[in-house]
């Protein structure tokens, strides 16, 4: 497993900086001027946060690492922004080379090699905490840093994950698969396990670097901070933030998003199988901050296109689904395909068994993984349609309770997963 | 006259028996060679399987994308490599055996048959690859078309599969030098006909649908939010 080598310009910049207390690492390509303005403002606002008598977060020596190097660039050295940052210590900007991703990769999902570079810089600088900013500059342009850094610097936790304010129909992939599945597997109730923004303590960095090296060597493409913290027994907490990310949908279809988020999750399951099989139930993580009201949802959603895709999938993908799903599940899907829009309801137990069967098929390579994740798309849309029917007229609290109910169903269905995982050839009607 | 007929028959029988007797050692050598090389193939395949298992080739190739597993998911790389080794050694045995048959015969027919064997082997490889590609592509088209909400997904998938299979069959027949220009012409007509039929079906058949759809689109007020944008999956 080759260790990641930072660019010479980055190393030169780090030598000039020396050491720092806080590294704010931007993991995606952003506009340079916007970044400098947002980062400076965010660091200034750190000074206003905190309780009287406590050391000011703005007194921290802060470095902002950003993707600013490419093949032919002669990158600037780390720049000092004394006149812009009215802080007792200068704010420094340090460019680093963003790993080249494949053309099919979703632009807002940073690959694990990017996190390798970030954690290597953080370790070299000897920081006490590292704040990773992904997706866009939304985290720096909102009240994110202070509430997220506080529990890390107070040593209440080693990983602080954001709790975004989301509407009923936002983050559906996370609510239906990513969050409940990681909760059932790794025993931690983290609402957003694949959050692009998070804060991590300096203590965790060396272990994470080694873990990332190993997983990148094994071909893993995504970094799951909540999973890594759970596997190492590190304290995780959640913080309510008012950051809102709106992903650009241009040119990225749902099948691609599923393949590039759920696929790596299934691959992680295969890698960490000896560990998650021993975990039973889940523990709540400390949640701090004030819950922020999400933007109001629009008019009642039209589920007919999703229902049509589900029914079309049922009519045409039987031979593919029959390679993955047992006959009982197929029978239930047959019954579902006959239901109308008003009475369409996919039971949680059915959805959970479908996800677990697909995870097993991913591991066993029952069919091509590209085809497997493509065949999951109509089923996912069926779940979304069912969810929309249930929570269409419900409040946000009721919708959140509905998501919690699904998460408990994942935990209750874990024995099914264990039995199928250990004995895949056993008769399963 | 009957004496001469009888004499001719006796002479032709004697020649055939004599030729069979000449070829018999060759056939026995053929059987012996095939059996011998089959045993060697079995031993070699066991050795290769053990070696590949020791270096964990399946796990190494499973890291990242594994093209072998994507195109043929039911066979592990170890199984595929082992079978290739096995059949390669058996093939060597067949060639050795055929050479033995050919050496015991100076018949022109035998020589030409021996020379045709590589064509047959190439055709078998083409047929196998064609089937694998046809199955993969048809399933890709089916899943992609369903996710795009195309109601004729199955038709597209079947069309893709049969286009690839027809192309494969034409290549196999060409490789076997069967049919010659007739096969080329038939393939051209069939392939071109299928593509033309599909183009006409889509172009002419959807003409009314497109015009009705455009009329509806023009008459409908633009929605503030498209239905699909109300759901944010990520």
One DSSP character per residue, A294-342 reads PPPP-SPPP-HHHHHHHHHHHHH-HHHHHHHS-HHHHHHHHHHHT--TT
Question: C-alpha angle A303/A309/A314, rounded to 5°?
Answer: 125
Q: Do A247 and B63 touch (CB under 8 A)?
A: no
Q: What are the tens digits of pLDDT across the range A300-344?
A: 678 888 999 999 999 999 999 999 999 999 999 999 999 998 899
Tell me what the mean pLDDT of segment B47-68 comes to.
76
Q: Which of A311, A317, A337 would best serve as a mutation to test chain B binding (most B beta carbons within 10 A)?
A: A317
Tell me what the mean pLDDT of segment A195-208 comes to.
90
Which residues are CB-neighbours of A40 under 8 A, at least 6 positions away?
A81, A84, A85, A91
Q: Do A377 and B63 touch (CB under 8 A)?
A: no
pLDDT reported for residue B204: 78
Range of weakest confidence among A270-274, B146-150, B181-185, B216-220: B216-220
Return the percentage of chain A with pLDDT > 90, whole number: 46
Residue A5 has pLDDT above 90, yes or no: no
Residue A249 has pLDDT above 60, yes or no: no
pLDDT reported for residue A85: 43
Residue A73 has pLDDT above 60, yes or no: no
* Residue in A170, A171, A305 nearest the CB of B149: A305
pLDDT reported for residue A220: 76
Reported as a pLDDT band with limits 50, 70 and 90, residue B72 is: low
pLDDT reported for residue A81: 44
Range of weakest confidence among A192-206, A385-399, B212-226: B212-226
Put simply, whether the predicted model's pTM sits higher than 0.80 gets the answer yes
Residue B227 has pLDDT above 60, yes or no: no
Comparing C-alpha atoms, which of B40, B35, B152 is closest to residue B85? B40
Highest-scoring range by mean pLDDT, A74-78, A358-362, B4-8: A358-362
pLDDT reported for residue A335: 95
List, in sequence order, the alpha helices (H) in chain B. Answer: 2-54, 57-62, 67-71, 77-103, 108-147, 153-175, 181-205, 207-219
Tell me what the mean pLDDT of segment B151-180 comes to.
88
Reported as a pLDDT band with limits 50, 70 and 90, residue A84 is: very low
Q: Do B140 and A371 touch (CB under 8 A)?
A: yes
* Residue in B63, B69, B227 nearest the CB of A218: B63
Tell me what the mean pLDDT of segment A83-95 comes to.
62
Range of weakest confidence among B149-158, B174-183, B213-222: B213-222
Residue A239, SS3 per DSSP: strand
Residues of A in contact with B134 (CB under 8 A): none
pLDDT reported for residue A74: 41
**Rounded to the nearest 5°, which phi and psi values hold at A379?**
-65, -40
Q: Which helix (H) or strand (E) holds A206?
A: helix A205-217
Dihedral through CA A9, CA A12, CA A13, CA A16, nearest 10? -170
Distance CA A293, CA A143 (A): 14
Q: Do A371 and B227 touch (CB under 8 A)?
A: no
Tokens of A251: 């040119």
Comparing C-alpha atoms, which of A306, A314, A332 is closest to residue A392? A306
Q: What are the tens digits of pLDDT across the range A332-361?
A: 999 999 999 889 999 999 999 999 999 999
Residues of A in contact with B157 (CB under 8 A): 316
Q: Which helix (H) or strand (E) holds A286?
A: strand A286-288
Question: Where do we find the tokens 């269905």?
Answer: A413
pLDDT reported for residue A355: 97
Residue B68 has pLDDT above 80, yes or no: no
* Residue in B143, B231, B233 nearest the CB of A371: B143
Binding-site residues on chain B for chain A (CB distance < 8 A)? 62-65, 69-71, 73-74, 136, 139-140, 142-147, 149, 151, 153-154, 157, 224-225, 227-234
pLDDT reported for residue A250: 57
Distance CA B186, CA B169 (A): 11
Q: Do A368 and B153 touch (CB under 8 A)?
A: no
Q: State the distance between the two ends of chain B, measured CA to CA, in whole angstroms.
A: 98
Are the CB atoms for A131 and A147 separated by under 8 Å? Answer: no
**Total residue length of chain A:** 429
pLDDT reported for residue A77: 44
Supply the ipTM of this predicted assembly: 0.83
Q: Which residue of chain B comes nearest to A177, CA vs CA? A: B233
pLDDT reported for residue A163: 93
Q: What is the DSSP letter of A68?
A: E
Residue A102 has pLDDT above 90, yes or no: no
Mean pLDDT, chain A, whole residue set: 85
Q: Which residue of chain A comes nearest to B148, CA vs CA? A: A309
Q: Which residue of chain A comes nearest to B76, CA vs CA? A: A365
3-state helix, strand, coil in chain A (%, to 5): 50, 10, 40
Which residues are CB-neighbours of A5 under 8 A, at least 6 positions away?
none
Tell me what the mean pLDDT of segment A218-223 comes to.
80
Q: What are the tens digits of pLDDT across the range B110-156?
A: 667 667 877 888 898 899 999 999 999 999 999 999 998 888 889 88
């Amino acid at each position: 497993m080759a260790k990641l080598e930072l660019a010479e310009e980055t190393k030169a910049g780090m030598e000039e900086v020396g050491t720092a207390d806080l590294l704010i690492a931007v993991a995606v390509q952003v506009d340079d001027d916007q970044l400098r303005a947002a980062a400076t403002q965010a660091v200034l606002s750190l000074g206003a946060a905190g309780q009287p008598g406590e050391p000011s977060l703005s007194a921290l020596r802060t470095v902002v690492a950003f993707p600013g190097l490419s093949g032919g660039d002669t990158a600037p050295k780390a720049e000092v922004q004394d006149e812009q940052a009215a802080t007792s210590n200068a704010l420094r900007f340090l460019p680093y080379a963003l790993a080249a991703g494949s053309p099919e990769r979703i632009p807002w999902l940073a690959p694990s090699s990017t996190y390798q570079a970030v954690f290597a810089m953080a370790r070299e600088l000897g920081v006490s905490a590292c704040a990773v900013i992904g997706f866009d500059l939304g985290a720096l342009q909102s009240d994110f840093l202070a509430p997220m850094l506080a529990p890390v610097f107070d040593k209440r936790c080693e990983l602080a994950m954001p709790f975004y304010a989301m509407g009923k129909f936002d983050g559906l992939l996370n609510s239906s698969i990513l969050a409940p599945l990681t909760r059932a597997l790794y025993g931690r109730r983290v609402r957003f396990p694949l959050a692009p923004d998070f804060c991590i303590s300096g203590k965790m960095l060396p272990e994470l670097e080694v873990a990332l090296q190993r997983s990148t060597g094994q071909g893993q493409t995504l970094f799951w901070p909540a999973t890594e913290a759970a596997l190492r027994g590190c304290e995780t907490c959640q913080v309510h933030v008012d950051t809102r990310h709106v992903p650009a949908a241009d040119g990225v279809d749902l099948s691609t998003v599923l393949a590039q988020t759920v696929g790596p999750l299934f691959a992680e399951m295969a890698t960490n199988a000896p560990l998650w099989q021993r975990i039973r139930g889940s523990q709540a993580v400390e949640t701090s901050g004030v819950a922020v009201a999400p933007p109001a949802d629009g008019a009642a959603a039209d589920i007919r296109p999703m229902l049509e895709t589900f029914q079309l999938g049922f009519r045409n993908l039987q031979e593919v689904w029959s390679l993955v799903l047992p006959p009982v599940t197929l029978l239930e899907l047959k019954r579902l395909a006959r239901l109308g829009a008003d009475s369409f309801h996919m039971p949680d137990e059915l959805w959970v068994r479908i996800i677990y069967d697909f995870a097993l098929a991913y591991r066993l390579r029952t069919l091509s993984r590209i085809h497997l994740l493509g065949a999951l798309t109509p089923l996912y849309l069926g779940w979304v349609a069912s969810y929309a029917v249930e929570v269409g007229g419900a409040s946000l609290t009721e919708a959140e309770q509905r998501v919690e109910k699904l998460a408990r169903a994942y935990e209750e269905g874990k024995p099914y997963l264990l039995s199928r995982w250990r004995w895949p050839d056993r008769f399963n009607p | 006259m009957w004496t001469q007929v009888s004499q001719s028959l006796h002479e032709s029988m004697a020649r055939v028996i004599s030729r069979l007797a000449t070829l018999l050692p060759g056939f026995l050598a053929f059987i012996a060679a095939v059996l011998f090389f089959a045993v060697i193939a079995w031993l070699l395949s066991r050795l290769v399987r053990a070696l590949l298992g020791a270096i964990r080739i399946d796990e190494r190739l499973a890291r990242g994308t594994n093209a072998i597993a994507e195109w043929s998911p039911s066979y592990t790389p170890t199984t595929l490599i082992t079978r290739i080794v096995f059949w390669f050694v058996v093939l060597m045995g067949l060639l050795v055996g055929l050479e033995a048959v050919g050496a015991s015969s100076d018949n022109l027919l035998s020589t030409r048959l021996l020379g045709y064997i590589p064509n047959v082997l190439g055709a078998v490889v083409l047929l196998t690859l064609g089937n694998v590609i046809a199955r993969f592509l048809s399933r890709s088209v089916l899943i992609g078309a369903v996710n795009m909400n195309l109601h004729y997904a199955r038709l597209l998938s079947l069309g893709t599969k049969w286009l690839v299979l027809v192309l494969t069959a034409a290549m196999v027949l060409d490789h076997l030098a069967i049919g010659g220009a007739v096969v080329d012409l038939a393939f051209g007509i069939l392939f071109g006909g299928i593509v033309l039929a599909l183009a006409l079906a889509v172009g002419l058949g959807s003409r009314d649908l497109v015009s009705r759809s455009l009329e509806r689109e023009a008459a409908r007020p633009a929605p503030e939010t498209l239905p699909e944008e109300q759901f944010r999956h990520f």
